[in-house]
Homo-oligomer: A and B are copies of this chain.
Amino acid sequence: MFLNNAIASYFFEGYLPKLFAFDLPSPLLATAEAENAPIVLSSVLLSLVVIYLASKIGSEIAKRLDFPPVLGELVAGVLVGISALHLIIFPDSGLLVSDSLIMSGIQLLNHLSPEVLSQVFASQSEVISVIAELGVIVLLFEIGLESNLRDLKEVGIQAVVAACVGVAVPFAAGTVGLMMIFHVAAIPAIFAGAALTATSIGITSKVLSELGRLKSTEGQIIVGAAVIDDVLGIIVLAVVASLAKTGEIDVLNVVYLIVSATAFLVGAILLGGFFNKSFTAIVSKLETRGNIVIPAFIFAFFMAFIGNAIHLEAILGAFAAGLVLDESDARNELDELIKPIADLIVPVFFVTVGARADLTVLNPANPDNRAGLLIAIFLVLVAIAGKLVTGWAVFGIPNINRVAIGVGMIPRGEVGLVFAGIGSASGVLSKPLEVSIIIMVILTTFLAPPFLRLAFGQTKDS
């Protein structure tokens, strides 16, 4: 066993148990590494097999029930995740390595010590998490490629208005309501209100794309607003968290975030013409395999890196890269080539989002959950109503589907969960308030796809 593990370890020479991360490499370390590396690979492979099986079974059942496939992927993720089957779980959820069915299987095969098994579990979780993150980057890149920049420019002002209304209304209603009705203190109330602001662009875009509505006026306003909204959400989070931590707002940081986010997107769009010509010129000169795919991903990953490096979001950079390359001549070919790549990596994101959602906080049988449930019901109502009104803020476009725009901005997804996580880590949020935010995120994420389908369905019938 040792010997064969060692063979595969060649590929893993980068792996060092983190316990020894500050020591110099030594033969002993090389041996530990040699024993762990193929087991990490085994557990990553097994996790991917489970994720792919879940995503395909979930999406096919959802399709047959006439739901968007992405909803099936999320539900399948919940089923294999921390709430049910414990196949795909993560150390930070509070579950131990012994709770993981995949790790138990790995343990049966390899008879590892508890310490080594914990290391393998942590490494596997880290790799799956990064692959999921690359998945959402590829998803936003693909969505950028599918979004037409000129269409987006046309709905630009509408998107800005929808985004501002969709941030301001739930923020104000949530904060005031929590303080007035539930007598929550000001800072936690502001924090929870802020958690209601940012739309999850990933889920909405996927559903819009599946409904064939991504390029509709409504779709473009939703995506545009969700992008602006995401940036506004980050700014709100920055302001609120610094308020919660220091008691004062860090004005310089707020100004920096606003300026850099605006400069980044506008800059990418303005420089788009130049990038396109260079990209087309380079692609036409390449003669080896991957002549389109590799330059496209160099650009996408570089923009994602820049997005991260200037302390915005990586997905914002990937989306900008997609918008820019959508204008290039190689566009149609790139659209075809990116599909199998997205098909392979994007489900990892959606299944792990589902797998991380802890539905046990919804159980009313547990008395600890009841306080949160009442606040949760309030937050869910504010979250839905606060975004629904955005549709009526859109002006100057006759016969537009206002319900669809509002519904499209309901899912909070990733960003909302981050608010809950930071609030919990910094001690600002009480347990019921934290649980309420999680419930709000789960429900808005799960309800938005069927609601969005219904909202667009109404248009078809009327």
Partner-contacting stretch, out of A144-152, A335-343, A376-384: A335-343
Q: Does A461 reach chain B (CB closer than 8 Å)?
A: no
The answer to whether B129 touches A15 (Cβ under 8 A) is yes
The answer to whether A31 touches B425 (Cβ under 8 A) is yes
Contacts of A343 in B (CB 8 A): 289-290, 293-294
Contacts of A18 in B (CB 8 A): 17-19, 21, 119, 122-123
Q: Does A399 reach chain B (CB closer than 8 Å)?
A: no
The answer to whether B344 touches A9 (Cβ under 8 A) is no
Q: Does A99 reach chain B (CB closer than 8 Å)?
A: no
Partner-contacting stretch, out of A213-221, A272-280, A299-307, A443-451: A299-307
Q: Does A312 reach chain B (CB closer than 8 Å)?
A: yes
Contacts of A11 in B (CB 8 A): 129, 132-133, 136, 349, 414
Q: Which of B10, B14, B24, B347 contacts A417 (CB 8 A)?
A: B10
Q: Does A48 reach chain B (CB closer than 8 Å)?
A: yes
> Once the chains are docked, how many angstroms separate the CA of A311 from the CA of B295?
38
Contacts of A309 in B (CB 8 A): 42, 109
Would you give the 0/1 interface string for A220-242, flagging 1 where the beta carbon is closer than 8 Å to chain B? 00000000000000100110011
The answer to whether B49 touches A90 (Cβ under 8 A) is no
Q: Chain B's nearest CB lies how many Å from the CB of A70?
A: 9
Known A21-B19, A69-B289, A238-B3: A42·B305 in contact at CB below 8 Å: yes
Q: Does A388 reach chain B (CB closer than 8 Å)?
A: no
Partner-contacting stretch, out of A55-63, A176-184, A452-460: A55-63
Q: Does A53 reach chain B (CB closer than 8 Å)?
A: yes
The answer to whether A34 touches B130 (Cβ under 8 A) is no
Contacts of A421 in B (CB 8 A): 6, 9-10, 13, 30, 34
> Once the chains are docked, how many angstroms separate the CA of A137 from the CA of B344?
14
The answer to whether B294 touches A45 (Cβ under 8 A) is no
> In the complex this chain forms, how many copies of it are found?
2
Q: Does A118 reach chain B (CB closer than 8 Å)?
A: yes
The answer to whether A13 touches B129 (Cβ under 8 A) is yes
Q: Which of B286, B298, B344 contacts A293 (CB 8 A)?
A: B344
Q: Chain B's nearest CB lies how many Å from the CB of A388?
A: 25
Contacts of A288 in B (CB 8 A): 56, 59-60, 63, 69
The answer to whether B340 touches A293 (Cβ under 8 A) is yes
Q: Does A356 reach chain B (CB closer than 8 Å)?
A: yes
> Once the chains are docked, how many angstroms separate the CA of A21 from the CA of B113?
14
The answer to whether A344 touches B314 (Cβ under 8 A) is no
Task: Considering the complex, give the chain B residue whose CB is closest to the CB of A28.
Answer: B425
Q: Does A190 reach chain B (CB closer than 8 Å)?
A: no
Task: Considering the complex, give the chain B residue whose CB is closest to the CB of A230.
Answer: B7
Q: Does A65 reach chain B (CB closer than 8 Å)?
A: no
Task: Considering the complex, give the chain B residue whose CB is closest to the CB of A4.
Answer: B311
Q: Does A172 reach chain B (CB closer than 8 Å)?
A: no
The answer to whether B125 touches A14 (Cβ under 8 A) is yes
The answer to whether A14 touches B129 (Cβ under 8 A) is yes
Q: Which of B133, B234, B287 contacts A41 (CB 8 A)?
A: B133
The answer to whether B293 touches A14 (Cβ under 8 A) is no
Known A30-B421, A45-B305, A94-B24: A13·B286 in contact at CB below 8 Å: no
Report the 9 A-B pairs with minimum CB-CB distance, sorted nearest first. Answer: A18-B18, A14-B125, A290-B343, A14-B129, A11-B133, A45-B305, A14-B90, A4-B311, A27-B425
Tell me the A residues contacting B by CB distance below 8 Å: 1-19, 21-22, 24-25, 27-31, 33-34, 37-38, 40-42, 44-46, 48-49, 52-53, 55-56, 59-60, 63-64, 69, 90-94, 109, 115, 118-119, 122-123, 125-130, 132-134, 136-137, 234, 237-238, 241-242, 257, 286-290, 293-295, 297-298, 301-302, 304-305, 308-309, 311-314, 337-341, 343-344, 347, 349, 356, 414-415, 417-418, 421-422, 424-427
